[in-house]
A and B are shown apart, each in its own frame.
Chain A
Amino acid sequence: MSAATPPLQPPIVDPAQTFGSVTDKISSIVLSKKSPLVWLVGFGIAFSLTMLLLYSIGYLLVKGIGIWGVNVPVGWGFDIVNFVWWIGIGHAGTLISAILLLLRQTWRNSINRFAEAMTLFAVACAGLYPVLHLGRPWLMYWLFPYPNTMGLWPQFRSPLVWDVFAVSTYASVSLLFWFVGLIPDLATLRDRSQHRFARFAYGILAMGWRGSARHWQVYDTCSLLLAGLATPLVVSVHTVVSFDFAVGLIPGWHATIFPPYFVAGAIYSGFAMVMTLAIPLRKIYGLEGLITMRHLQNMAKVMLATGLIVAYGYMVEAFMAWYSGNPYERFMIWNRMTGPYAMGYWALIFCNVIAPQTLWSSKIRNSVPVLFVLSIIVNIGMWLERFIIVVTSLHRDFLPSSWGMYRPTVWDWSTFAGTIGLFAALLFLFIRFLPMISIFEIRQILPQAEVTEPQK
């Protein structure tokens, strides 16, 4: 997309907005408005689910991972499915904030802040699983290369060690990027807040931002650098996550298509999640002027494109299974399509391949309720994809004598629901205490900004 906006597209922000109105609108959500009832109810539910997560984790630590449905042959179940799903969701945030920043896609400015927050919270949820899925979670630090009296390093050939690096780098860069991006807005909140404590807290977090030209110069350099750092992460994190599977020799895992297919899938699910969150938010907080149809349409297009890549991945998987002539590969895909988890496979095809094809129609792209439903379908579809990859590959591999079934237990579900609760609770807190849309970046793209500042 070029910088020149085609006339047919709706504007990025409502042209009626001004610097003042934008600042008022966004900062008032945090500073002066009473929390709407939806927030209270939503946070209540999310908080309860977070407590359920704590209870599930507590029980897990006391009893052992046998409380889950994992077994031999299916050593990974909801733990890794959810890990990959959450990590994937996070990708949209990084993509929006880093790559689109570098590509100067200014439409991103209204959605990058909460997309980044979503990334962070999704990574927090994702990060729990690799620790919890260990038989002895309290020894997870053995996966880090630290000097120790045992004289032992991690085993660097294992993709799980790469995962540790990839995910921890990803989490720290995302956090940094998000926080740096918040600084000018935190200063705005500091300046506008009436409450002493709030002024103090925002003041600390704003790190002495005064908005001087020097500050802005350092800020721009820093965010560009961070964007440069984060950009390869968009590709690398999910590539490394896909290595967990691709490096294994299990049919259904051992495939070279995995890295690109996983990255596309991650962005796909990430945009779906941004959409799932943005649609209710703009409605509840009356932000239709800031998160406009233009945003929704662009995201729908990204989803369509990445969805097609994912569909290609499914096709290639099936084709290669047949073309390889390898009986184990052939059986694997046949088992996915007709075996005990066939329902899951076809639901996945429906959710990820068939349903998004409706996005070719501009009518659909303009219909907010349809987009919302589609985004949820894609979220489910991407979760199913991970389930199919992890479980159906493992449950029937080489020796029929060892074939088995994976049946998630109540604790699998409660942990999953708990991480959704944690994600939502963090998001609710974020909405309540931080500006969910970047104030200063919106100001940059307002018509006001262009009119008053002549080109140098």
Chain B
Amino acid sequence: MKLAGASLALAGLSACTKQPVEAIVPYVRMPEEFVPGKPLYFATAIPASGGTAGVLAESHMGRPTKIEGNPAHPASLGAASAIMQASVLSLYDPDRSQAIAFRSDIRSYAAFLGSLKEALAAQKSKQGAGICFLTESITSPTAAAQLRGILKQYPAARWFQFEPAGAQTAKAGAVMAFGEPVDTYYRLDGAKVILSLGADFLGSSPASVRYAREFAAGRRVRGGKAEMNRLYSVETMPTITSAKADHRLPLRASEMEEFTRALVEKVDSPHAKWISAVTKDLEQNRGSSAVIPGPEQPAVVHALAHAINHRLGNAGKTVIHIDPIEPQQGGTLEALVAELDAGKVELLIVMGANPVYSAPADLKVKEKLLRAPLRIHHGLYNDETGELCHWHIPDTHFLENWSDTRAFDGTVSIVQPLIAPLYRSKSIHEFLAAFTELPERSGYDIVREHWGAGKPDFETWWRKSVHDGVVAGTASPSKNVALKTKLPAPAPAATGIEVVFRPDPTIHDGRFSNLGWLQELPKPLTKITWDNAAMVSPSLAERLHLQNEELVDLVYQNRTVKAPVWIVPGHAKDSVTLHLGYGRTRAGRVGNGNGFSAYSLRTAGAPWFGAGLEIRKTGARYPLASTQDHQSMEGRSLSLAGTVEEYRENPDFLEELAEAPPRGLTLYPDHKYEGYAWGMAIDLTSCTGCNACTVACQAENNISVVGKDQVLAGREMHWIRVDRYFDGDLDNPAVIHQPVPCMHCENAPCEVVCPVAATSHSSEGLNDMTYNRCVGTKYCSNNCPYKVRRFNFFLYSDFVNPTVAMQKNPDVSVRSRGVMEKCSYCVQRINYARIEAKKEDRAIRDGEAVTACEASCPSQAIVFGNINDPASRVSRLKAEKLNYGMLAELNTKPRTTYLAALRNPNPEMGA
């Protein structure tokens, strides 16, 4: 009776809340190769300024979850940078613009088309004289063709381009040197001596991933071979490139031109000794050296670098010139502002670019934009510029649209979608189609038509190109260009404290502001997260009595911005570096309000540096969330290093630095590992400290972003971190990077102290973490000498947001509050390989089980595999003389070992 009553009550309850009708539909025909639980990989490409990167996107049941490199693509070669990895997060960013809006009211696309039609009709008679397009750099051949088509239709319409951290000076330098615009890239595999003139080619170039691979290959010391390339680096703010340099010269940005002239023209210079040694080294390697100017360097430095490269016979060998991958250049932002001032702009279309936030302050774009009577914004976010436009049309994410794009060497990739657009967004092609006779064409048709749909063999070509992720034979041929001899007269050197602007190492020019993975990714040199800072040298800090986190007023050309100070060992004296990309107001919930906007000091005339900065103390403090509070290794043998010379003389030189107790030195019997025994070796000579592994791990293992206050409290969650130490003279120290994942100790200190056996030893030597069993004593973390364990102090994982949930890797548990977590050697990937191998009744092959960090590493520094197999790559690495275990003297028997870093200093440079 009671039971009946209860069920009646329940029935009544369910009758009251009417359930929505949700039809479930079974697959009548299963999509090809679509097996639940089994990920599929599709080739696509990430459009980016200066050149795309080809990737393979991992798709779980129709959800792209992770980005891997595309081995067939020249800018990836199978690896993926941190920014590439994080691009999947922007697909699911809940703050992405989701609706077409007119003055922030939601409208239909038809309403927009109607309004646009009216505006265009008014322009038709004047040949489009009032139409102005403002775009970012466009690497898509289809989009460029579409724009050209529109400009043909409206001959008086104008196209402007704005890229806040673009390579305009490099283009100007090419014109200065050769009289024609050419793009230049490098073949570092053939370069024995490399001189970087402020170029962070390992970190922030469109071809960085490839450069890192080639550069590392030229430095790899294995077995008897002990040949290494040599890198010289001259720059203002240390980067990961200079951290790898064998010799580094800190130089004010304004002195770079003088330095380069001294190098070319052999004139006297305060750095004569340095220059003569470098020159000699370069001369001895004619045709196999490279001088690489940074994209932020003045045009004349580019021109001078071209001159040196041509003189050394490097052109066509290590230095390749090609036709620009973006053949048509629009006008500059300054020109657009002039037109706005003149009132000649009636219809302004802003595509992607965000000049209201990122334009130089002296252009006053925010006010002047309003002079255009009709403003249309097309972009991924309804950002600072979108806010000031009448219409906002959401752009599609590259994982949602069809497009095409070109790599640094001209190679074309077809961008294919992995998922239907999540929101009512229009791709750039669909948006541009709105200006044509066929305003509602699909992006798919437009891209296919551009590449010649309908032609014989097109379908075969198309399928192959889409499948491979690269269009065969589209790399631009090397171009022979002749050097002009006339160079402009030297500019007078500036005095006083200079301000230097650089794109941020993680969020670039601010476009990635709302990506938590990148915000929380420690900057490679400073280990700061969530903020930018005024980077100063120790000597300047001493002179002005500045301290870390001290808030100062930076006054430059009558503009002021408040910035916290951060002292960077190795920074050039009397110079302050500001990273772009922070201080945003409409980036989204993640990106808003972090740091300060360096753009608010920047001027159009001197976009990268200028003298006359004044630093005024305010007496206030601003906390900066650095993940590493201590910068010195304290003389401990942690990240070992030597020179290739030492290695040649005595390959066993490491034995004096690192000692491990004999393996039998324990009361307990050893673990027995029959079958597989997983292990990892990390080559510190190859590692550039680029952080790709950290983000790859974050994407693969569903690692939470915790926010600035939690990083300040010391609770960041990265399973693999990159430690950074400074060694030696603080004005120009050696910089050491060391990735630290879990060591998977055979005598793991964490395992014995867990009271509930939540962390335990697997039969294959993995130190497994059972989240469900963990009660959270944190004893394991306390007892871990490597401090690689991470704890969920709060409920860090987002269990609420549906789009965020879509990114999660279904093969990895999403951790809840109160449990410990740490690197698992990507056990889910090992098990995937195991299942595949078992199906074929064989052993897992070497290289089949690949951890996420290993897969993403651009320089192939991380190698994972079965150490029970003496022929595996990891076993061979562990047999190298340079192999050592960190803190092996504790008898933890770490499974992750390191290969000591070797440098190749020039004996002529002295110490």
Q: Which A residues are within 8 Å of any B CB, using their own CB?
A: 63-66, 69-76, 133-136, 139-140, 142-143, 152-155, 157-161, 164, 244, 247-250, 327-328, 331, 394, 396-405
Contact = CB atoms under 8 A, between A and B. Distances in A.
B633 A400 contact: yes
Q: Which of B636, B740, B783, B792 has the most CB of A within 10 A?
A: B783
A161 B781 CA distance: 17
7 contacts: A72-B790, A134-B818, A331-B634, A398-B787, A400-B638, A401-B725, A404-B629
Contacts of B890: 249, 398
B779 A158 contact: yes
Given A72-B715, A398-B786, A66 B793 contact: yes
B786 A71 contact: no
Contacts of B818: 64-65, 134-136
A315 to B, nearest CB: 25
A158 B754 contact: yes
A401 B788 CA distance: 11
B635 A155 contact: no
Nearest to B721: A401
A143 B628 CA distance: 34
Interface string B362-387: 00000000000000000000000000
A159 B782 CA distance: 13
A401 B628 contact: yes
A338 B481 CA distance: 64
A64 B794 contact: yes
Q: Which of A71, A133, A403 has the most CB of B within 10 A?
A: A71
Contacts of A143: 755-756, 775
B150 interface: no
B145 interface: no
A136 B774 contact: yes
B753 A76 contact: no
A71 B756 contact: no
Contact of A155 (B636, B749, B757, B778): B757
A249 B819 contact: no
Interface string B703-744: 000000010011100000101110000000000001010000
Contacts of B628: 401-402
Given A64-B817, A401-B721, 15 more contacts: A64-B793, A71-B713, A71-B715, A71-B793, A135-B791, A135-B792, A143-B756, A152-B756, A152-B757, A153-B757, A160-B755, A397-B787, A399-B786, A399-B887, A402-B786
B559 interface: no
A327 B782 contact: no
Contact of B753 (A71, A247, A403): A247
B93 to A, nearest CB: 25
Interface in B803-848: 817-820
Contacts of A248: 749, 753, 779, 782-783
B785 interface: yes
User: Lowest 3 A-B CB distances belong to which pairs?
Assistant: A135-B776, A135-B818, A66-B793
A71 B789 CA distance: 11
A404 B890 CA distance: 22
Given A64-B794, A136-B775, A405-B629, A73 B756 contact: no
A402 B787 contact: yes
A70 B628 CA distance: 17
B337 to A, nearest CB: 47
A375 to B, nearest CB: 32
Contact of B755 (A71, A158, A405): A158
A154 B740 contact: no
A75 B755 CA distance: 15
A135 B740 CA distance: 25
Contact of A403 (B630, B749, B754, B781): B630
B539 to A, nearest CB: 23
B707 to A, nearest CB: 11
Contacts of B713: 66, 69, 71
A187 B752 CA distance: 50
B450 interface: no
Main secondary structure of the interface of B (DSSP, over half): loop
B755 A164 contact: yes
Contacts of B721: 401
B222 interface: no
Contacts of B778: 70, 75-76, 133, 135
A65 B779 contact: no
A208 B162 CA distance: 94
B705 to A, nearest CB: 15
A120 B773 CA distance: 32
B725 A140 contact: no
B783 A400 contact: no
B122 interface: no
A73 B781 contact: yes
Q: Which of A139, A142, A164, A249 has the most CB of B within 10 A?
A: A249
A172 B752 CA distance: 28
A134 B714 contact: no
A329 B342 CA distance: 73
A66 B710 contact: yes
Contacts of B879: none
A160 B753 contact: yes
Nearest to B819: A135
B753 A63 contact: no
A138 to B, nearest CB: 9
A397 B782 CA distance: 9
Contacts of A396: 630
A426 B757 CA distance: 36
B643 interface: no
Interface in B749-764: 749, 752-757
B777 interface: yes
Nearest to A397: B785
A137 to B, nearest CB: 8
A117 B567 CA distance: 56
Contacts of A155: 752, 754-757
A136 B635 CA distance: 39
Q: Which of B636, B754, B755 has the most CB of A within 10 A?
A: B755
Contact of A136 (B636, B723, B790, B819): B819
B632 interface: yes
Interface string B57-86: 000000000000000000000000000000
B756 to A, nearest CB: 5
Nearest to B628: A401
A158 B779 CA distance: 9
A75 B822 CA distance: 15
A298 to B, nearest CB: 39
B909 interface: no
Contacts of A140: 775
Contact of B782 (A153, A394, A404): A394
B795 interface: yes
Given A143-B755, A404-B714, A65 B633 contact: no
A389 B840 CA distance: 55
Given A152-B757, A331-B634, A72 B789 contact: yes
Contacts of B777: 133-135, 160
Contacts of A65: 776, 793, 818
B750 to A, nearest CB: 10
Given A75-B791, A158-B753, A401 B724 contact: yes
Contacts of A136: 774-776, 817-819
A150 to B, nearest CB: 8
Contact of B776 (A71, A134, A157, A404): A134
Interface string B574-601: 0000000000000000000000000000
Contacts of A133: 777-778
Contacts of B724: 401
Nearest to B758: A155
Given A249-B890, A401-B740, A66 B794 contact: yes
A63 B725 CA distance: 36
Given A65-B793, A152-B757, A249 B783 contact: yes
A435 to B, nearest CB: 40
A52 B783 CA distance: 32
